[in-house]
Amino acid sequence: QVTGPSGEGTDAVVILEKTPFQEEKVSDLLKKHTKLELQMCNDIYSTYHLYPPPELSEIKTTVVYPATEKHLQKYLRQEVHLIRETWEDYQNITLPFLQSQSFSIQWVYNILEKKAEADRIIHENPDPCNGFVLVPDFKWNQNQLDDLYLIALVRCRQVKSLRDLTAEHLPLLRNILQEGKEAVAKRFGVPGSQLRIYLHYQPSYYHLHVHFTALGYDAPGSSVERAHLLADVIDNLATDSAYYQKRALTFALRADELLFKKFQEAGRV
Amino acid sequence: QVTGPSGEGTDAVVILEKTPFQEEKVSDLLKKHTKLELQMCNDIYSTYHLYPPPELSEIKTTVVYPATEKHLQKYLRQEVHLIRETWEDYQNITLPFLQSQSFSIQWVYNILEKKAEADRIIHENPDPCNGFVLVPDFKWNQNQLDDLYLIALVRCRQVKSLRDLTAEHLPLLRNILQEGKEAVAKRFGVPGSQLRIYLHYQPSYYHLHVHFTALGYDAPGSSVERAHLLADVIDNLATDSAYYQKRALTFALRADELLFKKFQEAGRV
């Protein structure tokens, strides 16, 4: 709580983030005027605490003020639980929930129709069924390859998620895997063996898309409870066209999410 | 390169790590004497650069000096590549490689035979076929639940990895899933829905074991290219006993690893 202009207590959200080292400033960090405190010394190994001058230890600070109850909720630590969704759960809980929500995916259509971001397109396959558009993800500023992040958006509009996929989508998925790798190698020089290529379940929007991230980048959402490797998805569908209409899928939900409440109401949590 | 006592150039490895904020020092960070630079202001949102005094921005520093070529190699950024291992690759490349190495897993046997860490056991099922021992992982200091990490070691000694599993192991795997969850809930108060329970492929040692980590903890090795949810493994084996003797599996290898060289020699990279 901080004191507002009116003098009464008003809530604020303050976010503090340590930023990565900048390579060109590391030599400054190691100069003599930096305070160094020896902690431990054993043979050739030693550890220190280094206390850098303020200008070399910037902290990124974000302030929301005045903050509403919603802002506070968003940033308070929330309990997260795993759901093991059977196909029946999907049909009885998840799908009705998705249909009741009117998520707008106009921004996806704008990209597909080149009404937006047309200059950002890295690769496109124009086929209306088996085609897609590859664009940099908003989270990637394209300044360095370390956190490379691209998204392939499919052209067909009927596929909401992994749950809708069958063997009929294999040509589309194979196009994304093959052409996506080639396009990234050509434009950014990153070979296919250094790309993590995967789908999310649950996705954050229900128009099928595939994530391409640098293998060395610990990308948010690349952990086993959310990510499904495209190569595995292809093999599963090739073995059994109805794989994703049979199998239970695991995902995490925050306890304050509406879908979590739906699973609770159904006695599935 | 630093100048050694002999006056000639000698290599050193210097590792700098920013440490997490300490909750009790955050209020100090926000006090007036900390320099704050406004970057952006838009409605209720604003961002700043905050320049903390040295004593509030400690950097953990580790020095290896003098450093050998091996030390330098260990810390140089290494290329990592994904391998897509077919069952044939496993039989022709991976398995012969594993058999040629004599990895010692005596420490695992010591735990199973209670010659070591007997006081650390959280739960055990004594069945020689379908039994296991649950112990805290070395990476977890047990001081806080945020980074909870336990390992279930199976009693049977013939199962090297995921690749050896068939439907005959379902009772064992179901015991681990069920009893493991119950034991963690009982001892640590963490419910099963907040545990990420998975196997690694490739594992770091070839005696079957299962990882239990806190869902909120971004544990190393929990990403999609290495982790396999135990619940998925059980469902796959229940559908097809030979699932892991048919399916291609993806994993990452550093370019300097011997197994990577074997895949290269076989023309599979």
pLDDT for the residue numbered B12: 93
pLDDT for the residue numbered B7: 47
* Closest to B173 in 3D by CA, of B125, B220, B242, B219: B125
Q: In 3-state terms, what secondary structure has residue A104?
A: coil
- In whole angstroms, what separates CA B257 from the centre of its chain? 17
Q: Please state the pTM of the whole predicted model.
A: 0.82
Helix-strand-coil percent breakdown of chain B, rounded to 5? Answer: 35, 25, 40
**Stretch among A27-31, A133-137, B187-191 having the lowest mean pLDDT:** A27-31
CATH fold of A2-74, please?
Phosphorylase Kinase; domain 1 (3.30.200)
pLDDT more than 70, % of chain A: 96
- In whole angstroms, what separates CA B153 from the centre of its chain? 15
Mutate to test the interface with A, among B50, B65, B70 (most CBs of A within 10 A): B50
The encoded tokens of residue A110 equal 């704008």
Q: At the fourth CATH level, which superfamily is domain B77-266?
A: HIT-like (3.30.428.10)
- In chain B (269 residues long), the average pLDDT of successive 10-residue segments reads 56 88 86 83 87 88 88 82 97 95 85 88 96 91 87 96 98 98 97 97 96 93 97 97 97 93 93
Read off the pLDDT of residues A175-190 as tens digits, 9 standing for 90 and up. Answer: 999 999 999 999 999 9
CATH topology identical between B2-74 and B77-266:
no
CB contact under 8 A, B215 and A80: yes
Average pLDDT over residues A165-174: 98
How far from each other are the two terminal CA atoms of chain B, in whole angstroms? 35
Radius of gyration of chain B from Cα atoms?
A: 24
B206 annotated binding-site participant: yes
Q: In 3-state terms, what secondary structure has residue A161?
A: coil
pLDDT for the residue numbered A50: 92
Tell me if ipTM is over 0.90: no
Read off the pLDDT of residues A1-22 as tens digits, 9 standing for 90 and up. Answer: 454 455 456 899 999 988 778 8
Nearest 10 degrees: CA dihedral of B226, B231, B237, B239?
A: -120
Those residues with Cβ within 8 angstroms of residue A144's Cβ, 6 or more apart along the chain or in another chain: none
Average pLDDT over residues A246-264: 95
**Highest-pLDDT range among A35-44, A204-213, B107-116:** A204-213
Contacts of A72 in chain B (CB under 8 A): none
Residue with tokens 């704008």: A110
CA distance A89 to A84: 9
The encoded tokens of residue A246 equal 């049979």
**Stretch among A71-80, A133-142, B199-208, B247-256 having the lowest mean pLDDT:** A71-80
- Whats the size of chain B, residue-wise? 269
Q: In 3-state terms, what secondary structure has residue A133?
A: strand
CA distance A190 to B32: 46
pLDDT for the residue numbered B8: 57
pLDDT for the residue numbered B1: 47
pLDDT for the residue numbered A68: 86
- Domains in chain B: boundaries: 2-74, 77-266
A106 or B183, which is more confident = B183
pLDDT for the residue numbered A214: 95
CB contact under 8 A, B215 and A45: no
Those residues with Cβ within 8 angstroms of residue B130's Cβ, 6 or more apart along the chain or in another chain: B171, B172, B175
CA distance A85 to A208: 19
**Stretch among A1-10, A38-47, A186-195, A242-251 having the lowest mean pLDDT:** A1-10
pLDDT for the residue numbered A4: 46
Contacts of B84 in chain A (CB under 8 A): 231
pLDDT for the residue numbered A6: 52
* Closest to B252 in 3D by CA, of A222, A234, A179, A236: A222
Nearest to A49 among B18, B46, B58 (CB): B58
- Secondary structure element (H or E) that encloses residue B14, with its range: strand B13-18
CA distance B82 to A257: 35
Contacts of B26 in chain A (CB under 8 A): 16
pLDDT for the residue numbered A101: 86
Burial code of A133-143, b = ≥16 C-beta within 10 A, e = fewer? bbbbbeebeee
* Closest to A90 in 3D by CA, of A262, A265, A234: A262
DSSP state of A21: P
